[in-house]
Structure 1
Amino acid sequence: MTVDGPDASRTVDEETLRYVGRLFGQRDGVRTTSLFPSNKLESLVVTFDTDYYPSGVDDVTLELRAYTNGEFHISYIERRSGERRRCRWDRHEQSHNSRDHYHPLPDASTESAVDRTYATDLTRVLEAAVLPWIDDRVGQLWDSV
Structure 2
Amino acid sequence: MTGPDRSRSVDETTLRYLARVFGHRPEVRQTSPFPTNKLEGLVVTLDAEYYPADVDGVSLELRAYTNGDFHVSYHETRAGDRRGCRWDRHDQPHNARDHYHPFPDAGTAAAVDRSYATDLTRVVERTVLPWVDDRVGELWESTTD
Same fold (TM over 0.5): yes
How far the C-alpha of 1:23 sits from its partner, in A, is 0.1
Q: Which amino acid aligns with 1:83?
A: D
Give 3-state SS (helix, strand or coil) of 1:144's partner: helix
Q: State the shift of 1:130 in Å.
A: 0.2
Unaligned segments of structure 2, at least 5 residues: none
**1:68 aligned residue:** 66
| Structure 1 residue ranges, 4+ long, deviating more than 2 angstroms after superposition | none
The SS at the match of 2:56 is strand
Q: 2:132 aligns with which of 110, 131, 134?
A: 134
Q: Which amino acid aligns with 1:71?
A: D
Matched AA of 2:16: R
- 1:57-100: CA deviations, max 9, x gaps? 00100000000000000000000111100100000000000000
Do the aligned residues in 1 keep the contact of 2:7 with 2:66 (CA within 8 Å)?
no
Give the match for residue 100 of structure 1: 98
* Offset, 1:8: 5.4
2:18 aligned with 1:20, yes or no?
yes
Q: CA deviation at 1:9?
A: 3.8
Structure 1 portions without partners, runs of 5+:
none
Q: Which string of whole-angstrom CA distances, capped at 9 and with x for unpartnered residues, describes residues 18-40 of structure 1?
A: 00000000001100000000000
**What is the rounded CA distance, in whole Å, between the counterparts of 1:49 and 1:8 in structure 2?**
36
Aligned to 1:57: 55
- 1:29 matches 2:36: no
Q: Of the candidates 108, 113, 116, which is equivalent to residue 114 of structure 2?
A: 116
d(CA) in 2 for partners of 1:141, 1:76:
15
Q: What is the number of residues matched between the two proteins?
A: 141
**Aligned counterparts of 2:136 and 2:14: Cα–Cα separation in 1:** 26
* Alignment root-mean-square deviation, CA: 1.1
> Deviation per CA, 1:38-58, whole angstroms, max 9, x where unpaired?
000001000000000001100
**Partner of residue 143, structure 1:** 141
* Alpha-carbon distance in structure 2 between the residues aligned to 1:63 and 1:11: 17
What's the TM-score once normalised by structure 2's chain length? 0.94
